[in-house]
């Protein structure tokens, strides 16, 4: 999609109008006043009326017409923005849906699945303590967001972008806590080599799908920001590191 560029600053338009009025309209008016007086004294009312009409036309051209043009530009920009918003809503919905499998409670090959499974092992419970309340909050939030976005219109675009950005940011932060816990576990040196290898393999496999979803989301955010010419989305989301 092409870039959406905002119309000019209203202050710039105001300054331009003031300059036109000062440089053209006022001098013309200053010339017309004595001219009309002279014509009136010589009973040339027809020429006086013509001069007044010409002055009115000049005022309309230099003051009213630019205002109309500016209004049309603003309206076109508004319509273009609404069109972009309508076009991007399905893409936001599709991108967010990629996180749904990652939040399923019974999937053992996700970041949450690996994290939760490790916490059920007695030897790891000292290090691995996932926040179940945070997980359930994120799950309920996502469950609410998806149908809301699927039925949203362009009027709700700002709310949609705000809510989805906040959810993804919370999800990234949540998974990052899991990485730090596993990293601390490996640094403890309390597990044999085979167990360490198993932990690394499980985490790194789950991490790949997580990072694909995050990368896809970041790409969409950057595309939206570029199209609108402003930062609609926060486009800074960390991907998970590999356990070394």
Q: Which pair of tokens denotes residue 56?
A: 């009115």
User: pLDDT: is 37 or 116 the higher one?
Assistant: 116
pLDDT exceeds cutoff 50 at 123? yes
Q: Tell me the DSSP string of 164-192.
A: HHHHHHHHHHHHHHHHHHHHHHHHHT-S-
The secondary structure of 112-128 as a DSSP string is: HHHHHHHHTSTTTTTT-
DSSP state of 107: -
Q: Where are the domains of the chain?
A: 10-79, 98-228
Determine if residue 189 is left, alpha or beta; phi over 0 gives left, psi from -120 to 50 gives alpha, anything else beta: left
- What pLDDT does 6 receive? 35
Could you give the CA distance from residue 228 to residue 122 in angstroms, rounded to a whole number?
52
Could you give the count of Cα atoms lying within 13 Å of 218 in the half-sphere of its Cβ? 13
Instruction: For the chain, give the number of residues.
Output: 244
Given a contact cutoff of 8 angstroms between Cβ atoms, the answer to whether 118 and 182 are in contact is: yes
- Could you tell me the end-to-end alpha-carbon distance of the chain, in angstroms, rounded to an integer? 40
- Tell me which residue has tokens 């816990």: 181
- pLDDT above 90: percentage of residues in the chain: 30
Average pLDDT over residues 59-88: 76
- Look up residue 61 and give its DSSP letter: I
Q: Cα–Cα distance between 119 and 100 in angstroms, integer? A: 22
Q: pLDDT tier at 173 (50, 70, 90 boundaries)?
A: very high
- CA dist., res. 98 & res. 216, Å (int): 9
* Residue 80: predicted pLDDT: 77
78 neighbors 5 (Cβ within 8 angstroms)? no
For 197, phi then psi, to 5°, come to: -65, -40
Alpha helices in the chain (DSSP H): 10-20, 26-41, 45-59, 65-97, 111-119, 132-150, 157-188, 193-228
Residue at token pair 């919370």: 170
pLDDT at 236: 84
Task: Indicate the pTM of the whole model.
Answer: 0.70
Give the number of other Cβ atoms within 10 Å of residue 157's Cβ. Answer: 21
d(CA 66, CA 58): 12
């Amino acid at each position: 999609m092409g870039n959406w560029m905002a119309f000019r600053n209203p202050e710039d338009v105001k300054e331009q109008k003031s300059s036109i009025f000062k440089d053209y309209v006022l001098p013309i008016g200053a010339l017309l006043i004595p001219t009309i007086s002279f014509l009136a004294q010589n009973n040339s009312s027809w020429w006086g009326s013509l001069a007044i009409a010409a002055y009115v036309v000049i005022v309309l051209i230099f003051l009213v017409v630019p205002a109309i043009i500016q209004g049309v530009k603003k309206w076109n920009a508004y319509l273009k923005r609404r069109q972009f918003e309508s076009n991007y809503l399905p893409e936001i919905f599709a991108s967010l849906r990629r996180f749904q499998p990652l939040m399923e409670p019974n999937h053992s090959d996700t970041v949450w699945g690996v994290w939760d499974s490790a916490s059920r092992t007695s030897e790891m419970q000292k290090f691995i303590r996932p926040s179940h309340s945070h997980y359930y909050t994120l799950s309920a939030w996502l469950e609410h967001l998806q149908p809301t976005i699927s039925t949203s219109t362009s009027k709700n675009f700002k709310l949609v972008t705000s809510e989805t950005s906040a959810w993804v940011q919370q999800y990234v932060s949540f998974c990052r806590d899991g990485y730090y816990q596993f990293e601390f576990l490996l640094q403890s040196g309390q597990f044999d080599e085979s167990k360490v290898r198993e932990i690394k393999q499980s985490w790194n496999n789950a991490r790949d799908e997580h990072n694909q979803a995050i990368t896809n989301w970041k790409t969409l955010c950057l595309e939206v920001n570029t199209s609108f010419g402003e930062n609609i989305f926060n486009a800074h989301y960390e991907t998970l590191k590999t356990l070394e």
